[in-house]
Amino acid sequence: MELKQIASFAVDHTKITEGMYTSRIDGDVTTYDIRMVKPNCGTYLPVPAIHSFEHLFATYARSGHLSDQVIYVGPMGCRTGFYLLVRDMNPAVAIQLVKDTMDFVLDFDGPIPGATEKECGNYREQSLEGAKEIAAKMKAVLADWTVEDLVYAQ
């Protein structure tokens, strides 16, 4: 079997900065790269923070009026950001969903959804404070983000 280079590995990671980018489009499905730290700079998202952020992001995105268009929300293995996969969603709407998610995380108070032993395979490793730090940073990064900004730097 010949191994093919996948789209996310074809992007020049030396040029990626924090932001939201269109990673790929497959028919009616768009994958967004929500980059929260600059790749390969020695700073990565802490596991407890990214775990809580994932629970909050996924719950929020799948609970609102756009839930039927949300396919997947999940962290990157490199711990520099998240992927958001959506179906038939206008890019401006996707940007607003991510911005609204940052506000939701910043305002969230209470138990992390799905973070009990029965619901989660690693329920003890959570940090709401860390998730809020991620959201605060990304809120500032995305404040003036537009559809034109969704393109990776060349």
Q: Judge whether residue 140 has pLDDT over 90.
A: yes
Contact 146, 86 (CB under 8 A): no
Contact 102, 60 (CB under 8 A): no
pTM: 0.94
Model pLDDT, residue 154? 74
Model pLDDT, residue 18? 97
Q: Judge whether residue 8 has pLDDT over 80.
A: no
Name the residue with higher pLDDT: 9 or 66. Answer: 66
* The pair of three-digit structure tokens given for residue 130, joined into one six-digit string: 């860390």
Distance from chain centroid for Cα 48: 15
